[in-house]
Structure formats: C-alpha cells, structure tokens
Amino acid sequence: MPRSLLDIDDLTTDELDTVLSRAADLKAHGDGEPLHNQTLGMVFEKPSTRTRVSFETGMTQLGGHAVFLGPDDIHLGHGEPVKDTARAVARYVDFIMARVFDHADVEELAEYATVPVINGLTDDAHPCQTLADLLTIREQFGGFDDVSVAWVGDGNNVCQSFVIGAAMAGIDLTVATPEGYGIDDDVRERAADLGNEPETTNDPEAAVEDADVIYTDVWVSMGQEDQREQKLADFEGFQVDSALVGDRTVMHCLPAHRGEEITDEVLESDNAIVWDQAENRMHAQNGLLTWLAEQE
C-alpha cells in the first residue's frame, strides 16, 4: 500500500522534518519539474479557495497536472461506493487529494487506492494546513525551539491537527476554548504519546500570557451554519482583538469571519502573518507531494 497522509502523525517526526525542509528548499530554489507528467486528482465535497489553488498551482510548478473533481463531477459515495471511486480514479492519476466531510471517506480512499491519498480536509483533521503552519512558524522564528503558541477559539479539525503537529515539532502549546468545545481525548492522548501534551484552559487571557503566537480559526465551520447563533453566544470573550494580541504574532488559516473570531484591525496589522501562512499551503504541499512520490 502506498504512503498516504490522512493526519499529520502519519508522518514520523523525522519525516515531518524532511517534508518541511523539502518545502523550504522548493520555496527558495525550485527543483526543476520533479513530478513531470504526473497527475493529481482533486476530490472536493467542500469548497475551498486555498486548497484548490494551492494544489493546482503547485502541481503545475512541479511539472505535473491537477484535475478538479467536484461533487457534481463524480459519484463519490452517492453513485458508487467510495472504494470503487478509489480504485477507478487511481488507475488514471498518480495522487489523490480529497477534501470531504467524513474522515472515514479518506480512510476508505486510502485503503483501496493504489496511489497516495492526501487529506485536504475532513471534519476531523486538516494535516495540510498543519504543514503550512509549521513551515510558517519555522520561517518566522528560525525553528521551533522556545516557541510558544496559544490557540484561542474552537477545538476544531484545524486545531486538532495543529495540536499533534505542535507536539511533533516540540512547540509549547496552550489551547483555550469555551467549555464543551475542547479537543478530543484521542487527540490529547496522541499528543501525550509524543511527549508534548498541550495545556488547556477556558481563559483566553491566561492562554496568551506567555505566548509568542496566537492562532485562531472561525467559530462556525462549514456544515455548522444551523449552530451559528448558539456558537456566537458561547464564544463571547474569545475574539482575537488588539487588546488580547498586544505585540504577539497572529495566525489564522483563513477564510476569516472578520468581526467574529478576529477583528479586522488585527487581521490587517503587521502582527498578522496569515498571508505567509496561505502562501505556504502551496510550498508545504509541494514538499509533501515530492516526498510521497519517492516513497513508492
């Protein structure tokens, strides 16, 4: 079975370092066309600006090609079983990237596909975002030593992958969420097994006290629109504003709901490195794609 990336700890800590180093090198120097004539099939149940553009442009930079497969283009799970889609599409492409709701679907794709499968986001995890986050922190601080990050907001899929990635990188992490919106026990245990369980709190100000970086994400994710009013009430006091930020660096995976989880003032300030983060989606994924190509 080919190597896939369904969550960030499908990589070892050494492999994570290799992928990040490869990404940094490709960003700085390029590397010809290492994926010449190779094709990435991009399966989308959920829309995305950054995921589609970064993967499609990245494959072009690497000498390959990307095929967009939206929910109206294929029969994933509603015209044929996921395993049949996996086996058929794998006969045409060299990689599959899937951005879907149910994490079990990417697991089934990876089980039956004969090419590497990359999780472009599920309701449980977002490993490609974590790769970009870690690449951005590494660039900003020259590494991970003595870097402290505070996550402020929802313990969602982006948060949970970042918790694991931070544990792998040795980043000191505190997660501040409202009661009932924390990270899963399984995620906490996986981070603990890596020797770096995050601190958790319901107090944003306490979380950021010793932080170098504040990271946040939307409170109302795709598919949760019916929970909007309840979540806005539950997350009162968790907005990342100038008073909370001070002189700290700010990260956000985007898109942002300005005026909810983060203020327009903070997002437009020099403290925010969100556009470096967004760009690094492509570079991190290029590093991953070229690394995966060498594992077969």
Which are the catalytic amino acids? 99, 126, 129, 217, 253, 281
Q: Note if the bond before 47 is cis, omega within 30 degrees.
A: no
The answer to whether the annotation marks 217 as part of a ligand binding site is: yes
Residue 52 backbone zone (phi > 0: left; psi -120 to 50: alpha; other: beta): alpha
* 91 belongs to an annotated ligand binding site: no
Question: In this structure, are residues 58 and 285 in contact, taking their beta carbons and an 8 Å threshold?
Answer: yes
- Cα angle: 25, vertex 30, 35; to 5 degrees: 110
Between vectors from CA 53 to CA 73 and to CA 261, what angle results, nearest 5°?
A: 105
Segments in the chain forming alpha helices (H): 13-29, 50-61, 82-89, 103-112, 127-141, 157-169, 185-193, 204-208, 228-234, 242-245, 264-267, 274-293
Ligand-binding site membership of 196 (annotated): no
Joined tokens for residue 257 = 């709901």
Does 1 count as an annotated binding residue?
A: no
129 is in an annotated binding site: yes
- Which tokens go with 21? 């180093």
Annotated binding residue 99: yes
281 is in an annotated binding site: yes
In three-state form (DSSP H/G/I as H, E/B as E, the rest C), the secondary structure along 88-115 is HHCCCCCEEEEECCCHHHHHHHHHHCCC
159 is in an annotated binding site: no
Q: Which residues are part of a known binding site for L-ornithine?
A: 157, 217, 221-222
Q: Which residues are part of a known binding site?
A: 48-51, 99, 126-129, 157, 217, 221-222, 253-254, 281
Q: Which residues are part of a known binding site for carbamoyl phosphate?
A: 48-51, 99, 126-129, 253-254, 281
